[in-house]
Amino acid sequence: MYGIRLQQLRPDHAPAVLAFERENRAYFAASVPDRGDGYFAAFEERHRALLAEQAAGVCHFHVLLDDATGEVLGRFNLVDVADGEAELGYRVAERAAGRGLATAAVGALLELAASAYGLTALRAVTTPDNAASRAVLARTGFTVTGETTLGGGLPALTFRRSLEATA
């Protein structure tokens, strides 16, 4: 990933993450439920809470950074860590979409999940109409395991990937 790097979330990432979320709010809301105004109003508090969850080992949050500008191009998270598994979630800036960054970052996160975090499997969820997300999951070895619903009754597909061969 030349010119970009996946980095674990830190306190000093807050301004860049907030800018990323604000700039891409409408873009993200086209494919996932919107975070709502409260998310932005309480962003600093939410950022501190995420860092506390990370310190407790129940989640691992990452940002994809542009080395030249320090700008956040994406967020790649492992949440609800339990029993050797976690749920993968990610979002990429509109201006960075379609360049293979999500696939590369998910690939790097798969290695981290196995080697640094000791995980044995990851789960993921996306909507059937989110072709880009489904393609990233397929290219990185996830398989469809079922169906579920997201907030607001939005239909979604569930995915899983073993990490045993990744470590």
Q: The pTM is what?
A: 0.90
Domains of the chain: 4-162 (3.40.630.30)
2, with CB counted inside 10 A (0-12, 13-18, 19+), is exposed
Dig out the tokens for 27 from the structure.
Answer: 């873009």
| Arithmetic mean of pLDDT, 91-109 | 94
Tens-digit pLDDT profile for residues 32-65: 777 889 899 999 999 999 999 999 999 999 999 9
